[in-house]
């Protein structure tokens, strides 16, 4: 389901309407400075990053940044898009680090439960029993972290870059 704001943006892009003057420029910022800030925002995009662009000529497109120049952005599949035509840009982010932390934490809790259920039969086997338990604990925590990182990588979100 689309929000009313995204539908308005889509209609505005489709019919080539200009946003209101108040939305184009912040008070106290000269048009020249606003243009330089716009160009700096687009030139800071890294080649190879996945972005979503809303522009009057192409609508809303998602693609990989191939190049950024002085006056245009080159998107895979959409070609060159002049900076002056771009209304907004979002950058795709994933949550691998967050998933790694959460997965490792869950793995640590599971490892504690497993370790509490472990007992050594005799005093002579304590060293080997502890070593086995430590390896099991480490394996469970690392396994939880890997699963969490995989889930986090598969969960993208979009962060606004411009405006």
Supply 149's token pair: 């990182």
Whole-model pTM?
A: 0.58
In whole angstroms, give the CA distance from residue 125 to residue 20. 77
Q: Please choose, from the candidates 114, 95, 94, the residue with its C-alpha nearest in 3D space to the C-alpha of residue 106.
A: 114
Dihedral sign computed on CA atoms, order 103, 108, 113, 119: positive
Instruction: Report which of residues 19 and 147 the model is more confident about.
Output: 147
CB 142 within 8 Å of CB 101: no
Q: How do residues 107-143 score in pLDDT, each as one tens digit?
A: 999 998 888 877 777 776 777 778 888 899 999 999 9
Q: How do residues 25-79 score in pLDDT, each as one tens digit?
A: 556 778 888 888 888 888 888 888 889 988 877 788 888 999 888 888 888 887 8
Q: For residue 46, give the DSSP letter.
A: P
CB 117 within 8 Å of CB 63: no
Residues sharing a CB contact under 8 Å with residue 56, sequence separation 6 or more, in sequence order: 13, 16, 85, 87
Task: Give the pLDDT confidence score for residue 116 in this predicted structure.
Answer: 81
For the cut 80, the answer to whether the pLDDT of residue 95 exceeds it is: yes
The hierarchical CATH code for the domain 4-93 is 2.30.30.100
> Is beta strand 50-55 parallel, antiparallel or unpaired with respect to 59-68?
antiparallel
Share of the chain above pLDDT 70, in %: 82
Alpha carbon of residue 123 to chain centroid: 52
Task: Give the pLDDT confidence score for residue 82 in this predicted structure.
Answer: 86
In whole angstroms, give the CA distance from residue 24 to residue 29. 11
In whole angstroms, give the CA distance from residue 103 to residue 61. 33
Give 131-139 contacts, CB < 8 A, sequence gap 24+: 136/111, 137/111
Q: For residue 28, give the DSSP letter.
A: T
Q: Please choose, from the candidates 110, 103, 106, 104, the residue with its C-alpha nearest in 3D space to the C-alpha of residue 136.
A: 110
Q: What are the structural domain ranges in the chain?
A: 4-93, 96-156
């Amino acid at each position: 389901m689309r929000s009313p704001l995204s539908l308005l943006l889509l209609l505005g892009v489709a019919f080539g309407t200009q946003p209101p003057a108040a939305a184009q420029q912040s008070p106290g910022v000269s048009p020249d400075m606003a243009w330089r800030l716009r160009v700096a925002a687009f030139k800071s995009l890294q080649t190879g990053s996945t972005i979503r662009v809303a522009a009057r000529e192409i609508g809303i497109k998602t693609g990989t940044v191939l190049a950024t120049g002085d006056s245009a952005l080159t998107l895979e599949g959409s070609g060159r898009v002049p900076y002056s035509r771009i209304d907004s840009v979002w950058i795709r982010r994933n949550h691998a680090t967050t998933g790694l932390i959460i997965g490792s934490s869950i793995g640590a809790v599971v490892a504690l439960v497993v370790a509490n259920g472990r007992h050594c039969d005799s005093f002579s086997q304590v060293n080997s029993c502890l070593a086995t338990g430590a390896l099991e604990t480490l394996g469970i925590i690392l396994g939880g972290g890997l699963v969490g990182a995989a889930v986090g990588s598969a969960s993208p979100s979009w962060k606004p870059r411009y405006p």
